[in-house]
């Protein structure tokens, strides 16, 4: 499924996506932490960027497992997990993009950018 909308609307739309069975994916891991991202992504054609929601998990010595610590927005140059991430921040999508852009675009201009919400077909409940 692909749905086009202004970037300012995508966060609310995603929060209401209860008809999807989207599986998360491990994007990056090391001895201390693991970055897990959503199975869906947002493509921003004009910036040639991809955005996913994610969770940073910290390794817990007592549990001997990675446990969720905080949510992040992850910015990537590709939809492919194996291509890795270029930036992540503990904030909402638009604020994280503004921080990544480092003043190259006004917040109001970012909000109006067209984006495409992409959900792989296998993740859509029938």
The tens digit of pLDDT for each residue in 23-58 reads 888 999 999 999 999 889 999 999 999 999 999 999
Answer whether residue 36 is part of any domain.
yes
Answer whether residue 24 is part of any domain.
yes
- What pTM, to 2 d.p., does this model score? 0.87
Answer whether residue 52 is part of any domain.
yes
Answer whether residue 97 is part of any domain.
yes
Instruction: Flag whether pLDDT at 74 surpasses 90.
Output: yes
Decide: 58 and 33 in contact? Cβ < 8 Å.
Answer: yes
Tracing tokens 């010595």 back to the chain, one arrives at 61
Answer whether residue 126 is part of any domain.
no
pLDDT range class, residue 1, cuts 50, 70, 90:
confident
Q: How far apart are the first and last CA of the chain?
A: 12
Q: Domain span at residue 99?
A: 2-121
**Integer Cα distance of 12 and 92 in angstroms:** 11
pLDDT tens digit string along 4-13? Answer: 999 999 988 8
Q: How many structural domains compose the chain?
A: 1
């Amino acid at each position: 499924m692909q749905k086009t909308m202004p970037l300012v609307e995508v966060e609310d739309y995603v929060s209401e996506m209860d008809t999807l069975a989207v599986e998360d994916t491990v994007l990056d891991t090391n001895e201390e932490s693991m970055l897990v991202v959503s199975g869906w992504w947002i493509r921003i054609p004009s910036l040639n960027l991809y955005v996913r929601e994610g969770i940073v998990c910290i390794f817990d010595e007592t549990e001997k497992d990675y446990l969720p610590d905080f949510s992040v927005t992850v910015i990537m140059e590709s939809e492919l997990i194996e291509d890795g991430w270029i930036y992540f921040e503990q904030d909402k999508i638009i604020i994280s993009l503004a921080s990544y852009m480092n003043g190259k675009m006004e917040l109001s201009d970012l909000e109006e950018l067209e984006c495409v919400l992409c959900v792989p077909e296998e993740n859509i409940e029938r």
